[in-house]
């Protein structure tokens, strides 16, 4: 992924097309993960946090 | 998206944060606990209606399954709006801003902490939310989480005599951690979000790719650092508008005297 250095040394995405493509691809992957999770019954959370004390 | 952008630029964020806290702990629609909470709000709070995503991730580490659903929901949120939920919905973020606000009122000194330690939040995510629960079969982040202490641990201890009798060294440790954070947040901008929060760590990388993002018009920007002074997490926005620390609160957009910072929702 194309990046440029900012004055603070942090890298940022420079190429809008690459950014848009990554955004779209990750969007689809996230949707697939949600569908897969629902299919596997992961929305029914049985865990209760009884260990808080 | 443009209506949503307009809402972000015109709404009173403090009121949205307060409303979010009330809704997340409204004790209605308990069936919503199947949905990960978009913010640090303890699952064990008697009034909580959503599931703590960090508690859920630890649960799946313990039962050795990949948490597709929770990761999918968190990723989808991050891709669309980055860390926006940290700035607008998270009750613990709201608490940190309220406590930091007291500093001005009581003229307390500020304690800036170098961003060099920002990597710590990723370490907390990997070690305390991933590796340690996988290894010990115990959700150690939740056991020590200051959000759990303030929203669930202390209220339950105060209202339940049986639990009060069982409280031991772990509860004392939890309260000590909470007090430490309360003191820290009085002098440092959102220290939990910047250095500890594993939920923020999950959303942070998405700031570079999210649909909703900030952009700086370099021709208009005079580098007056107004953005830095109003930013609740201490970002010099004109240097790094896509910062992984940005919580999309829009304070810089509203405060910029040159209107050089824009909110984009492509």
* Shortest distance, CA B240 to any CA of chain A (angstroms): 6
Q: How much is the ipTM here?
A: 0.85
Question: Pick from B186, B206, B226: which residue ends a domain?
Answer: B206
pLDDT beyond 50 at B186: yes
DSSP B129: I
CB contact (8 A) between residue A40 and residue B69: yes
Range of the domain at B94: 2-206
Query: In this structure, are B101 and B12 located in the same domain?
Result: yes
CA distance A49 to chain B (A): 6
Statement to judge: residues B160 and B219 lie in one domain: no
The CA R_g of chain A, rounded to the nearest whole Å, is: 19
Q: What is the pLDDT of residue B255?
A: 94
Structure confidence at residue A46 as a pLDDT band (50, 70, 90): low
Mean pLDDT over B110-137 rounds to 91
Examine the domain organization and report whether B195 and B216 are in the same domain: no
pTM: 0.88
Q: What is the pLDDT of residue A12?
A: 52
B165 inside 8 A of chain A by CB: no
Say how far apart CA B136 and CA A35 lie, in whole Å. Answer: 30
Contacts with B78 (C-beta within 8 Å, 6 or more apart), sequence order: B202, B203, B205, B206, B207, B210
- Same structural domain, B175 and B127: yes
Residues 7-36 of chain B with CB under 8 A from chain A are 33-35
Clarify whether residues B154 and B243 are in a common domain. no
Could you report the per-residue pLDDT of B40-78, keeping only the tens digit for each? Answer: 888 777 778 888 899 989 989 998 989 999 999 999 999
| B117 shares its domain with B249 | no
Same-domain check for residues B107 and B239: no
Query: Cβ contacts (< 8 Å) between A6 and chain B: which residues?
Result: 239-240
Quick one: average pLDDT of A24-41? 93
- Mean pLDDT, chain B, integer: 90
Same domain, B106 and B221: no
pLDDT at A50: 39
Residue with tokens 């710590």: B120
């Amino acid at each position: 992924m194309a990046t440029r250095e900012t004055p603070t040394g942090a890298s940022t995405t420079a190429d809008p097309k690459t950014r848009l493509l990554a955004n779209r691809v990750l969007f689809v992957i996230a949707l697939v993960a949600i569908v897969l999770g629902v299919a596997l019954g992961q929305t029914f959370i049985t865990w209760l946090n009884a260990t808080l004390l | 998206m443009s209506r949503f952008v307009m809402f972000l630029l015109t709404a009173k964020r403090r009121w949205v944060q307060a409303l979010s806290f009330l809704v997340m702990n409204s004790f209605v629609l308990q069936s919503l606990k199947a949905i990960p909470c978009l913010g640090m709000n303890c699952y064990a709070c008697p009034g909580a209606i959503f599931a703590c995503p960090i508690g859920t991730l630890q649960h799946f580490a313990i039962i050795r399954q990949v948490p597709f659903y929770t990761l999918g929901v968190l990723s989808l949120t991050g891709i669309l709006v980055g860390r926006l939920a940290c700035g607008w919905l998270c009750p613990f973020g709201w608490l940190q801003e309220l406590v930091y606000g007291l500093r001005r009122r009581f003229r307390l000194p500020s304690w800036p902490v170098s961003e060099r330690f920002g990597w710590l939040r990723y370490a907390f995510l990997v070690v305390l939310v991933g590796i340690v629960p996988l290894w010990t079969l115990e959700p150690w982040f939740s056991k020590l989480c200051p959000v759990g202490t303030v929203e669930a641990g202390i209220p339950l201890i105060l209202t339940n005599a049986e639990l009060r009798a069982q409280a031991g060294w772990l509860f004392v440790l939890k309260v000590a951690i909470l007090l430490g954070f309360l003191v820290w947040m009085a002098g440092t901008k959102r220290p939990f979000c910047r250095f500890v929060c594993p939920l923020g760590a999950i959303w942070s990388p998405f700031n570079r790719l999210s649909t909703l993002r900030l952009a700086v018009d370099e021709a208009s920007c005079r580098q007056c650092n107004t953005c830095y002074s109003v930013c609740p997490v201490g970002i010099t926005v004109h240097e790094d508008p896509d910062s992984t620390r940005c919580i999309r609160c829009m304070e810089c957009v509203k405060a910029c005297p040159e209107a050089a910072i824009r909110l984009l929702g492509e």
